[in-house]
Homo-oligomer: A and B are copies of this chain.
């Protein structure tokens, strides 16, 4: 019986191999744009979305090694969104995970195209994944729904639109649900579809996914207030500087953390009722996001 940490590493190794294979096949060295895409894609990070794809597939008895290709596609799409988000016309961030952001390490045109290439090739990775045709089609659909006009991009738009403007909690939840939750849900559902899960699986895990996304964002808001730049690998206090309304400003850091804990507890209880001991990994993963300090 593996520990949670060992299991996480097993998934992570498989994801890393799938990402490396995707780089070798779809991001040729001779292209500077593809070099920029690799720079951002292989910069590390916790790969939470990809791990969720693997773990959901695994919990439902699917071929989680094959699902690593879906997981890699999710990471590629996530990475595209970070690169474009950091561009001067968007958040204008010079650093990402403690390293210069893509347009700083390369240049703006290259970063723009690097994002475009990661988004495009994510769908090629799905099209060529070693899974049944119906699963590949469903995965492409799920990724587009989560990443597109009624998911992540809609969330990015809302985020930019309401920057510095007064927000209530309902609107804040709507932004998070789209900007973060939708892609996390796509990652989860791609795991479900890789395992040929049922509509009940999809519904149970959809709740888990959106709750997890919300908790992730609440904790993000809190860390921007209580963490240090060294711990976080990026400047802190940026939300306050931008006059942003966040869960930390609405509830205070401590109250926001309590809210996150409460959402997490209820969400994990529901998951355990549905899947029993099989849900342990997903429950531990969600719990880590509440207590993380970076």
Tell me the A residues contacting B by CB distance below 8 Å. 26-28, 31-34, 37, 80, 84, 87, 89-90, 107-110, 112-113, 115-117, 119-121, 123-124, 126-128, 133-134, 136-138, 140-141, 143-145, 147-150, 153-154, 156-157, 160-161
Contact = CB atoms under 8 A, between A and B. Distances in A.
Contacts of A160: 109
Given A33-B157, A154-B31, A121 B109 contact: no
B133 A120 contact: no
A120 B148 contact: yes
A112 B140 contact: no
6 contacts: A89-B107, A112-B112, A126-B140, A127-B144, A136-B137, A140-B140
Contacts of A154: 28, 31, 33
Nearest to A33: B157
A87 B147 CA distance: 22
B112 A149 contact: no
Contacts of A138: 127
B124 A148 contact: yes
A150 B28 CA distance: 8
Given A31-B157, A90-B112, A127 B149 contact: no
A158 to B, nearest CB: 9
A185 to B, nearest CB: 15
Contacts of A127: 137-138, 140-141, 144
A157 B112 CA distance: 11
Contacts of A137: 127, 133, 136-137
A148 B26 contact: yes
Given A90-B112, A116-B116, A116-B153, 17 more contacts: A26-B149, A28-B149, A33-B149, A33-B153, A33-B157, A37-B149, A110-B157, A117-B148, A117-B153, A120-B144, A121-B144, A121-B148, A123-B140, A123-B143, A133-B134, A136-B137, A140-B140
Nearest to A30: B154
A240 to B, nearest CB: 22
- Which 10 A-B pairs rank lowest in CB-CB distance, beginning with the nearest? A124-B144, A89-B108, A127-B141, A120-B148, A133-B133, A127-B140, A33-B157, A89-B109, A123-B123, A117-B149
